[in-house]
Structure 1
Amino acid sequence: MSVSTLHYIYDPMCGWCYGAEPLIEAARAVTRIEAHAGGMMMGPQRRPVTPELRRYVNEADQRIAHLSGQPFGAAYKDGLLNDTGAVLDSEPPITAILAAEQVASQGLELLARLQKAHYVEGRRVAERQVLADLAADIGIDRDAFERACDDLAGPATKEHVVATRALMNRLGATGYPSMALERDGAFTRIELAPYLGRPDAWLEFLGQHFTIRQEV
């Protein structure tokens, strides 16, 4: 029997990826997921919080909440989005997720935790101390995490993003989140949008169409 792998292309600062988080959690229970971060707000694309950004984000968040049912907390809506000292930067969270995966195979767990920290708790998830606290929240050894972040920051993170963008080009994926199933070296794109807010239907879809490897 061939083993199927779901490839999940995401960005930690992408609201639609937060909307898809229940789908990722559901899929993780039944099959292997390989995560690829795309660097949506990285380098020259990083953004300080401004009134213009706040208006744009608020409109998108309303659509995401409506379709996915995911909560957006007051600390985020009334706090972080009014914090002109905050910067939306994908790179530090990507480094942290890579470190969590390297140290404890908990990259996706940290992604989910930092999404909650950002969208519900209104925390500055581009800051190293916040990321270390979040890693500790999910049981990752802080010292090991910090060392891995030091090793993976900069060139290693950028190499990961370059590889992700190459995969996106291969798949014809143009945004986040994107997903594909790999089986026997062949990739099939999967549309997540119809399943937002419908994790049970998503699991039924996976079970009907693909050979799912049960985790032991």
Structure 2
Amino acid sequence: MNQAVLHYVYDPMCSWCWGFKKTWLQLVEALANDEVEINYHLGGLAPDSDQVMPEELQQTLQGIWRTIHAKLGTEFNFDFWTECQPQRSTYPACRACLIAREEGKEQEMLLAIQQAYYLQAKNPSLSSTLIELAEQVGLEGERFATQLTSQEINTKLMKEISVSRAMPIQGFPSLVLTVGGDVFPIAVDYNNWQKTHKQITQLINNK
């Protein structure tokens, strides 16, 4: 049987990825029984910038948070918008997940960033926040801080973003199944992991 791989394309500061978290983890648990390999891919939602996010964009994103809460029941802490200076930059958080991956802690880092951003009103665009979170998940703070601004990690991120964007994706989160040399975009259902699981297993069984 050909090895099936499900590629999860995400951004740690993507609010829809936060909304998808519970369903995604249920899907991952179900797929473990089907021997489907799971690969995480960083999508790179917003490039580096130290500029404060324009007020109009802040309002737009707050509207998206409200929509996700209304549709999915996902919790958000809106204090972020008054206690932090929002920046439209997710690449630092992406680099943090890439560094954590090399230590086998990508999923822990992703969750730490999401909880800091959406529940604790902390700003993951800032290196200081990311260093604090890295230490929380068991990474060595000074080494992490050095890596975060290294050319090596930035080059790896740029390559990964290129690979992610070459996949048949529609924004983040996106799911792509590869099996037997074929590539299938998988519809993201935010409420029903069983429906997604059925689609994946049918594609695998038809190979």
Output the amino acid matched with 1:16: W
Equivalent in the alignment of 2:23:
23
Give the CA deviation at 1:102.
Answer: 0.5
What are structure 1's unaligned runs of at least 5 residues? 212-216
Give the CA deviation at 1:60.
Answer: 1.0
Name the SS of the counterpart of 1:134 in structure 2: helix
Q: 1:99 to 1:161 in 2, by over 3 A?
A: closer
The question of whether the paired residues in 1 share the 8 Å contact of 2:44 and 2:90 is answered with yes
Equivalent in the alignment of 1:214:
none
Equivalent in the alignment of 1:176:
172
Output the amino acid matched with 2:73: G
| Number of residue pairs the alignment of both structures matches | 200
Equivalent in the alignment of 1:32:
37
Equivalent in the alignment of 2:121:
122
What are structure 2's unaligned runs of at least 5 residues? none
Cα deviation 1:3-57 (Å, max 9, x = unaligned): 221111112221111112223322333243212212211135x752443122101
Give the CA deviation at 1:129.
Answer: 3.0
Q: 1:72 to 1:51 in 2, by over 3 A?
A: same
Give the CA deviation at 1:181.
Answer: 0.8
* Map 1:21-170 → 2, pairs under 5 A: 21-29=21-29, 30=32, 31-43=36-48, 48-73=52-77, 77=78, 79-83=79-83, 85-103=85-103, 105-138=104-137, 140=138, 142-143=139-140, 146-148=142-144, 150-151=146-147, 153-170=149-166
The question of whether the paired residues in 2 share the 8 Å contact of 1:168 and 1:174 is answered with no
Q: 1:80 to 1:50 in 2, by over 3 A?
A: farther
Give the CA deviation at 1:93.
Answer: 0.9
Give the CA deviation at 1:146.
Answer: 4.2
Q: What is the alpha-carbon distance in structure 1 between the residues aligned to residue 51 and residue 169 of structure 2?
A: 23
Cα deviation 1:118-147 (Å, max 9, x = unaligned): 011111112233223323333x2x32x642
Deviates more, 1:181-190 or 1:80-89: 80-89
2:12 is the alignment partner of 1:12? yes
Output the amino acid matched with 2:121: G
Alignment counterpart, residue 190 of structure 1, candidates 171, 176, 186: 186
Q: What is the alpha-carbon distance in structure 1 between the residues aligned to residue 20 and residue 51 of structure 2?
A: 23
Name the SS of the counterpart of 2:76 in structure 1: coil
Output the amino acid matched with 2:186: I
Give the CA deviation at 1:149.
Answer: 5.1
Q: What is the alpha-carbon distance in structure 1 between the residues aligned to residue 70 and residue 97 of structure 2?
A: 28
Q: What is the alpha-carbon distance in structure 1 between the residues aligned to residue 121 and residue 84 of structure 2?
A: 13
Q: What is the alpha-carbon distance in structure 2 between the residues aligned to residue 121 and residue 94 of structure 1?
A: 19
Name the SS of the counterpart of 1:43 in structure 2: coil
Output the amino acid matched with 1:156: E
The question of whether the paired residues in 2 share the 8 Å contact of 1:114 and 1:125 is answered with yes
Name the SS of the counterpart of 1:87 in structure 2: coil
Q: What is the alpha-carbon distance in structure 2 between the residues aligned to residue 60 and residue 173 of structure 1?
A: 20
Q: What TM-score do you get using the length of structure 1 for normalisation? A: 0.78
Q: How large is the Cα RMSD of the aligned pairs?
A: 2.6
The question of whether the paired residues in 1 share the 8 Å contact of 2:84 and 2:122 is answered with no
> Identity of aligned pairs, percent?
22
2:203 is the alignment partner of 1:199? no
Give the CA deviation at 1:154.
Answer: 4.4
Q: What TM-score do you get using the length of structure 2 for normalisation? A: 0.81
